[in-house]
Chain A
Amino acid sequence: MPEYDAVVIGAGNGGLTGALTLAKAGRKVLLLERHNVPGGCGTSFVRGRFEFEVALHQLSGMGSQERPGPLRAILNDLGVMDKLEFVEMENLYRVVWPDTFDITLRAQRDAITETLQDRFPKEKDNIPRFFDLVYGFSMEMIQGLFFKDPNISKEKYPLFFKYALIPTQKVLDEYFRDPFLKAVLSIYWSYAGVPPRWFSFGDFAIMLFAYIEFKPYHLKGGSQALSNALLDEFINNGGEARFNCGAQKIITSGGKVTGVKTEQGDTVQTRSVLSNASMLQTYLDLMDPEQVPKETLESFRSTSIGPSAFSIYLGFDCEPDEIGIQETTNFIAITTDMDEAFARWKTLEQQGVALLTCYAEGMMGLAEKVFPGIRGHVEEMEIATPMTHLRYLGHLGGAIYGRDHYAKDTQYFMANTSPVQGLYFAGAWASQGGFQPTLTSGRSSAKAILKSMAKK
């Protein structure tokens, strides 16, 4: 029976960085992927004359060459930077309430402050105070938490201890009165799938800080280029990848991983499995029920499957500026009440075919209010419903960000390690949703695997 140092299940973002980290350390690695293309969410598809990005809007954590962010550092270490061409976005985003309010923010602290002060003169003094908090908090979080300060305490990091778990909405209400201002500032909640009322300020602040400081990026060829580069480097480092072949079962014995049975029916031996599949489904569908510790399944009771998405991909027969599209990132809203916005989002859980055209029609109608006439230029259109996301991501509910990420689901409460010896996780279920978190999670878990191997 073939033997591997580690088997990685799933070639999503976390699976790819994890597999590559292990291969680069000289380990013999088998990467299994159900689909025929690497990337998971980090992929693209071709229709007609167009190639559509599936998921990536704005890559965070890159930073410039001179001032590299944490993600750039990881990609550098993994040796894929010279295969990729990154493009920095100048603007953070545009937020529009059709016929009501329209604002675009630069990805730069002073410029944002100035723009907001100009548009919200009544809140002139509150705006810089708020950014002082976001920055002050983020610096403390980086120092105390990310760099693992051994002397961490409430006295040394007062902002961190006060604000980490507070709902974002509470902080916004404390600082501002104008509902548009609050909504404009907190619109990134949608990248986490948690409305400001339940989004911990810690998670929110560090995200906003990171996007402003390290700038949003995209890359040529889209996220598929990144996935392809990671896989290519994995193969170059002796890694073995099998596509159209998922894992069927993680074999354990006495609470330890001993092997993996693949979908094609063969079994390989290994003591380490890095699962990039949904954590919940790894336990439910990839392991024999009697091999899963009872407490482990019970611990899932406090969590829930996160939201899915309804995505419309449009290919136009003209240049974007001809139909008024100037920004790379446009949020279009119909209410400043983000709880209502989230409630509408959650209606996606009602399934049915009628919903398909109903949602798509509604979204197209809304987009047309901001970009009049776009419908007349659509040459290709593809729609992805929660069922589509379920099918391609392999996540129940079509969850795009793994589990829900309320304050109770943050790193302070949720273990991302397993009581099953040799079982590790990567991806949105192991950390947070989004490209930077998932790419990072694979790297961290692979390092944990290497560490445990070194001990033996």
Chain B
Amino acid sequence: MSLKDVIHDIEGYQNIKSEIEVLKKYGFDHGARRGQFDAILEMLHPKSLRLRVSEIIDETKTTKTLRMVPVQGYLPPFQAGQYISLVVEIGGVVTSRDYSISSSPSQIGYFDITVRRVGDGFVSEHLLEETKQGDEFTSSAPAGNFYYNPLIHGRDLVFIAGGSGITPFMSMIREVTGRGLDRRIHLFYGCQWPDDIIFGQEIDDLSRRHADFTCTTVISEPPVGYRGHTGFITARLMQEILGGLSEKMFFLCGPEAMYAFCREELKQEGIPERKMRTEMYGPPRNVTTCPGWPEHIDADARVSVSMKGGETIMVRSTEPLMNSLERHGIAIPSLCRSGECSLCRTKLLKGRVFQPEGVKLRKSDRQFGYIHPCMAYPISDIEILLP
């Protein structure tokens, strides 16, 4: 005998049985839900987007905005400050770069990405020189954690932008002014030269029309006779312009050197960590200068990378593993390219890699030998298990 034979002896069993019979007759037909899950996901978090360049806007001598419309369907919603990871193919190598969306999230008919030429950036060069109206790209859906949180960030915001680091702030400023949101923003915008200022005219116009939006431009290499603020964005300058710094929330986006400088300045003024939100930046310019980099490994060192059950390639120790893999036509999932999102999480089976401080590995991922190849530098021959 088993429970099955005596199950009807359980008190209430018969009542529930008849309840079930009624429900089977009149209950909801879940067949209507076929395909619903994919449809919801496709609308909010599509796996990738197909974008077409509808317009190219010249911003400065070195900067252009590419206006991207969906090739088909709709664009998903995003938070001002988020980025898309744009896939590009250059000379047979498929790689990707992140670009903050500079347009306002109030409309999702298009995404603007604003690209500035960087010294040796072969992707920015490609986007600025080779890209034409009508070209199509694949990108990720919007991602990233550099955005305003109404629950803890208050309404008094200070944006510190360096160079092309203005782009996420432009989205936020456009949203707040466009929607008349109850937030006060002061933008400190650091540029090398006056003709480097992106969105200068619009920022001027907006600050004239909105009492709650003000801006200070700071030029680090001013031409003779320049009359505005010059040098760096110092705590002293901020104090001078804002009066006091307490009770304000600081958002920073710009080059590595600016973070180091401005964060320290704010720290000296007693601003706690929680009051500073910093956008991530990609791999360091020169990894050999990172704290902890093994001294005996020089900039030209080469090591082998073997894929379990696959090929072995030779790579440079000073290049992020992900870039080396891409050079060899091996694509692994990528998104932030800053060690943060963990999408490229890969198991290291043998050998050692250097991962700079700030690579956001889970505690147990570290324990079980996972690495984030977008910010991992092989410093010995290694073997990996592709995800």
Find out whether the CB atom of B368 lies under 8 angstroms from the CB atom of A317.
no
- Residues in B neighbouring A151, C-beta threshold 8 A: 1
Find out whether the CB atom of B33 lies under 8 angstroms from the CB atom of A222.
no
Q: Mark A375-409, 1 if CB is under 8 A from B, else 0.
A: 10111111000010011001010000000000110
- Residues in B neighbouring A304, C-beta threshold 8 A: 27-28
Contact residue among A51, A163, A379, A387 (Cβ-Cβ distance under 8 Å from B362): A51
Select the stretch in A12-20, A87-95, A225-233, A433-441 that faces chain B.
A225-233
Report the minimum CB–CB distance from B358 to chain A (whole Å). Answer: 10
Find out whether the CB atom of B37 lies under 8 angstroms from the CB atom of A164.
no
Report the minimum CB–CB distance from A207 to chain B (whole Å). Answer: 18
Q: Does B361 contact A (CB under 8 A)?
A: yes
Find out whether the CB atom of B365 lies under 8 angstroms from the CB atom of A228.
yes
- Residues in B neighbouring A285, C-beta threshold 8 A: 34-35, 37-38
Report the minimum CB–CB distance from A407 to chain B (whole Å). Answer: 6
Report the minimum CB–CB distance from B6 to chain A (whole Å). Answer: 6
Q: Does A79 contact B (CB under 8 A)?
A: no
Find out whether the CB atom of B362 lies under 8 angstroms from the CB atom of A44.
yes
- Residues in A neighbouring B3, C-beta threshold 8 A: 144-145, 148, 152, 412
Residue of A with least CB distance to B3: A152
Find out whether the CB atom of B40 lies under 8 angstroms from the CB atom of A302.
no
Residue of A with least CB distance to B276: A379
Among A52-86, those with CB < 8 Å from B are 83
- Residues in A neighbouring B129, C-beta threshold 8 A: none
For the complex, give the distance between the alpha carbons of A396 and B345 in Å: 27
Q: Does B257 contact A (CB under 8 A)?
A: no
- Residues in B neighbouring A280, C-beta threshold 8 A: 30, 33
Find out whether the CB atom of A317 lies under 8 angstroms from the CB atom of B272.
yes
Report the minimum CB–CB distance from A87 to chain B (whole Å). Answer: 14
For the complex, give the distance between the alpha carbons of A324 and B274 in Å: 19
Find out whether the CB atom of B11 lies under 8 angstroms from the CB atom of A162.
yes
For the complex, give the distance between the alpha carbons of A220 and B362 in Å: 11
- Residues in A neighbouring B152, C-beta threshold 8 A: 375, 378, 381
Q: Does A101 contact B (CB under 8 A)?
A: no
For the complex, give the distance between the alpha carbons of A164 and B12 in Å: 9
Residue of A with least CB distance to B40: A390
- Residues in B neighbouring A394, C-beta threshold 8 A: 37
Find out whether the CB atom of A244 lies under 8 angstroms from the CB atom of B387.
yes
Q: Does A453 contact B (CB under 8 A)?
A: no
Find out whether the CB atom of A165 lies under 8 angstroms from the CB atom of B11.
yes
Report the minimum CB–CB distance from A73 to chain B (whole Å). Answer: 22
- Residues in B neighbouring A302, C-beta threshold 8 A: 19-20, 23-24, 27
Find out whether the CB atom of B150 lies under 8 angstroms from the CB atom of A357.
yes
Report the minimum CB–CB distance from A16 to chain B (whole Å). Answer: 13
Contact residue among A36, A150, A163, A235 (Cβ-Cβ distance under 8 Å from B333): A36
Known: A36-B387, A152-B3, A301-B29. A396 touches B36 (CB 8 A): yes
Select the stretch in A112-120, A125-133, A292-300, A419-427 that faces chain B.
A292-300
Q: Mark B256-277, 1 if CB is under 8 A from A, else 0.
A: 0000000000000000111000
Report the minimum CB–CB distance from B47 to chain A (whole Å). Answer: 9
Find out whether the CB atom of A36 lies under 8 angstroms from the CB atom of B342.
yes
- Residues in B neighbouring A357, C-beta threshold 8 A: 150-151
Find out whether the CB atom of B12 lies under 8 angstroms from the CB atom of A165.
yes
Find out whether the CB atom of B44 lies under 8 angstroms from the CB atom of A391.
yes
Report the minimum CB–CB distance from B29 to chain A (whole Å). Answer: 6
Q: Does A284 contact B (CB under 8 A)?
A: yes
Report the minimum CB–CB distance from A55 to chain B (whole Å). Answer: 14
Contact residue among B1, B20, B274, B363 (Cβ-Cβ distance under 8 Å from A150): B1
Q: Does A224 contact B (CB under 8 A)?
A: yes
Contact residue among A46, A161, A229, A303 (Cβ-Cβ distance under 8 Å from B11): A161
Find out whether the CB atom of B10 lies under 8 angstroms from the CB atom of A153.
no
For the complex, give the distance between the alpha carbons of A269 and B88 in Å: 36
Q: Does A96 contact B (CB under 8 A)?
A: no
- Residues in A neighbouring B20, C-beta threshold 8 A: 302, 408, 413
- Residues in B neighbouring A360, C-beta threshold 8 A: 151
Find out whether the CB atom of A222 lies under 8 angstroms from the CB atom of B364.
yes
Find out whether the CB atom of A225 lies under 8 angstroms from the CB atom of B11.
no
Q: Does B121 contact A (CB under 8 A)?
A: no
- Residues in A neighbouring B33, C-beta threshold 8 A: 280-281, 284, 396
Residue of A with least CB distance to B366: A221
Residue of A with least CB distance to B277: A48
Report the minimum CB–CB distance from B89 to chain A (whole Å). Answer: 20
Find out whether the CB atom of A166 lies under 8 angstroms from the CB atom of B41.
no
Q: Does A103 contact B (CB under 8 A)?
A: no
Known: A152-B2, A408-B16. A390 touches B37 (CB 8 A): yes
Q: Does B225 contact A (CB under 8 A)?
A: no
- Residues in B neighbouring A46, C-beta threshold 8 A: 340, 342, 360-362
Find out whether the CB atom of B362 lies under 8 angstroms from the CB atom of A224.
yes
Find out whether the CB atom of B10 lies under 8 angstroms from the CB atom of A164.
yes
- Residues in A neighbouring B19, C-beta threshold 8 A: 302, 408
Q: Mark A200-240, 1 if CB is under 8 A from B, else 0.
A: 00000000000000000000111011001100100100000
Find out whether the CB atom of B273 lies under 8 angstroms from the CB atom of A317.
yes
For the complex, give the distance between the alpha carbons of A220 and B368 in Å: 13
Among B263-303, those with CB < 8 Å from A are 272-274
Among B147-167, those with CB < 8 Å from A are 149-152
Q: Does B7 contact A (CB under 8 A)?
A: yes
Extra inter-chain contacts (18) besides given A357-B151, A408-B19, CB under 8 Å: A36-B344, A37-B345, A46-B340, A46-B360, A47-B145, A51-B362, A148-B2, A153-B1, A162-B11, A224-B363, A224-B364, A232-B368, A280-B33, A284-B34, A284-B35, A390-B40, A396-B33, A412-B13
Could you list 5 A-B pairs, sorted by A, with CB under 8 Å?
Answer: A163-B11, A284-B33, A375-B152, A381-B152, A412-B7
Which A-B residue pairs are the 8 nearest by beta carbons? A301-B27, A221-B364, A379-B274, A225-B364, A302-B23, A46-B360, A165-B12, A154-B9
